[in-house]
Structure formats: structure tokens, C-alpha cells
């Protein structure tokens, strides 16, 4: 069984910080309603096609379990303002439902990016105007990472600056870590990374300031589990390889204003 149309839309677009539907009246209710009535009212304002089978208190105070006629469950606050879907808290009190959880996560990501020292990154900058910036966690032995690196000229041509961070998927002190350290400690980092992404060996080298452990720690905090893992300046994350035209479109499609 499936969620109704707009609930399904929320599920499909859960990665965005703000979710916008058509204008919905925000006039307050004319009288005091019970939690079940208020939850029903708010959900019906979101989508008239929603059919609710039952609304009962959950084990958590002021949080109600809502069973839809489709057989699916969601949770809602007693005032109907918030719904909980797939571990994401959505504010549905206005015509612009807002993913509170995604906003908080993106703000945390932005803070992480602001603390990075650009000199510890390997940066490929366009010769012309920069229209977007992508932070890319990469690994020494990753076919999709090699595919992305092959796209660097096209990405730069589109005005996209790529800032690489090292993320050895096998963990620190692994063979991948040693390769990444050799790359980041090379005299010409960009040439070394290109050589590495082409599957060629990089001269083993260490240096006093090895940024790989720092990059790895940042990646773990951001939830990186695979590479390439892309992060945009506004905090949006993009797991996996994206063709240049698709990546450019994602960067250009700014999410609606949040809270």
C-alpha cells in the first residue's frame, strides 16, 4: 500500500530542507479541538485525499500514532503542527511544509565546511567565473571516483570548483590511507591526485601535516559511508557519482527558503 499523493511527495523529497505545495489557508480553527481533531484538520489541509483510519496516543507524551487507510503509519504532534516521517520532523503548519531535521543537519554540515582549511584541500578551480562549489570526498581505490575525476575539465568548464577531501573507505592506517597521504603530501598535489585517479601508483611519501585523518573525521561526522560523496556549500549532500550536467542542475536548483 502507498501513502497518499502529498505524503508520498514528502517521502520522495525528504532530502530537501524545505518542501513547498500550493497555497493552503492558515486560518486558525474557530474552536478548541481535541488532538485527534487537530491532527486530522492539519493533515486534511495538507492533502484532502488523506484518509485516516485511527489516531491514538503513542508511548511519548504529546506524540500521536496516525494510521492511514493505506495501512501506513506516521506520527504527529498533539497540535498537528509536526509530523514525523522516516525520522524526519516536518512542520506542516503553513502552506510551506519545512523539513526541520534536514535544516538542522544542513546547518551542521555548513559549520563543518566553514572550519575546513582550504590549503588542506586539493582544489580544481575554473579559469572563468565560479558558479558553484562541490566538496568531494574521494578514495584511492574507487572506480566511481575515477569517473568523477575524469569529468573535472567539464565541471570546471561549467564553472564548478571541485574541492577534494580524502576519505579512505577502509579506514585510517589502511593501504588506502597511505595512498591518500602520499597524494596530499606530494609537492604537486593536483598532479598526484590525477595520477592516483588514473590508477597509477603514487610515490610513497609522508609529511608532518597529514590532513587525511582530519578529512576522515569530518567525513564520519557527515555520515560518509561511500565515495565519491559530494557536499554543496548550502549543506546539501549528494551520495555517489553524478554526470556533469546532472551535478550542475542540482547546484543550480536552490531549495526554497527555509525557516
Domain ranges within the chain, ordered by starting residue:
5-102, 116-252
User: Does the pTM of the predicted model rise above 0.85?
Assistant: no
Which of 142, 151, 163, 185 is catalytic? The answer is 142
pLDDT in tens, 64-76: 999 998 888 999 9
Q: What is the pLDDT of residue 8?
A: 52
DSSP string, the chain: ----HHHHHHHHTTTSSB---S----PPPSS---HHHHHHHHHHHH-TT--EEEEEE-SSTTEEEEEETTS-EEEEETTSSEEEETTEEEE-SSSS-EEHHHHHHHHHHHHHHHTS-GGGSEEE--SS---EEEEEEE-SS-HHHHHHHHTHHHHHHTTEEEEEEE--TT-TTSHHHHHHHHHHTSSSHHHHHHHHHTT--------SS--HHHHHHHHHHHT--SSSEEEETTS-EEES---HHHHHHHHHSPPPP--
Is 169 an annotated catalytic residue?
A: yes
CATH architecture of 116-252: 3-Layer(aba) Sandwich (3.40)
Is 145 an annotated catalytic residue?
A: yes
Which of 45, 158, 163, 169 is catalytic? The answer is 169
Q: Is the pLDDT of residue 153 over 90?
A: yes
Give the residue-averaged pLDDT of 192-219.
95
Which of 145, 151, 158, 163 is catalytic? The answer is 145
Q: Is the pLDDT of residue 213 over 90?
A: yes
Which of 45, 47, 91, 139 is catalytic? The answer is 139
* Highest-confidence segment of 1-10, 66-75, 87-96, 212-221: 212-221
Is 142 an annotated catalytic residue?
A: yes
Amino acid at each position: 500500500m502507498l501513502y497518499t499523493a502529498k505524503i508520498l511527495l514528502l517521502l520522495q523529497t525528504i532530502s530537501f530542507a524545505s518542501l513547498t505545495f500550493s497555497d493552503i489557508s492558515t486560518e486558525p480553527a474557530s474552536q478548541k479541538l481535541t488532538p485527534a481533531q487537530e491532527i486530522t484538520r492539519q493533515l486534511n489541509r495538507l492533502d484532502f485525499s488523506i484518509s485516516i483510519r485511527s489516531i491514538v496516543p503513542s508511548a511519548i507524551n504529546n506524540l500521536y500514532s496516525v494510521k492511514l487507510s493505506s495501512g501506513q503509519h506516521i506520527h504527529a504532534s498533539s497540535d498537528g503542527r509536526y509530523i514525523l516521517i522516516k525520522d524526519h520532523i516536518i512542520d506542516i503548519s503553513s502552506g510551506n511544509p519545512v523539513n526541520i531535521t534536514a535544516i538542522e543537519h544542513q546547518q551542521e554540515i555548513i559549520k563543518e565546511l566553514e572550519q575546513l582549511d582550504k590549503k588542506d584541500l586539493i582544489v580544481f578551480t575554473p579559469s572563468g567565473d565560479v558558479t558553484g562549489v562541490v566538496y568531494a570526498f574521494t578514495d584511492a581505490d574507487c572506480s566511481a571516483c575515477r569517473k568523477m575525476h575524469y569529468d573535472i575539465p567539464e565541471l570546471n568548464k561549467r564553472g564548478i570548483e571541485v574541492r577534494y577531501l580524502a576519505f579512505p573507505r577502509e579506514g585510517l592506517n589502511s593501504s588506502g590511507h597511505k595512498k591518500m597521504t602520499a597524494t596530499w603530501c606530494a609537492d604537486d598535489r593536483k598532479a598526484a591526485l590525477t595520477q592516483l585517479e588514473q590508477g597509477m601508483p603514487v610515490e610513497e611519501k609522508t609529511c608532518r601535516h597529514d590532513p587525511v585523518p582530519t578529512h576522515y573525521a569530518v567525513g564520519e561526522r557527515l555520515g560518509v559511508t561511500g565515495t565519491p560523496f559530494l557536499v554543496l556549500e548550502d549543506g546539501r549532500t549528494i551520495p555517489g557519482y553524478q554526470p556533469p550536467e546532472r551535478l550542475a542542475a542540482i547546484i543550480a536548483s536552490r531549495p526554497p527558503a527555509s525557516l
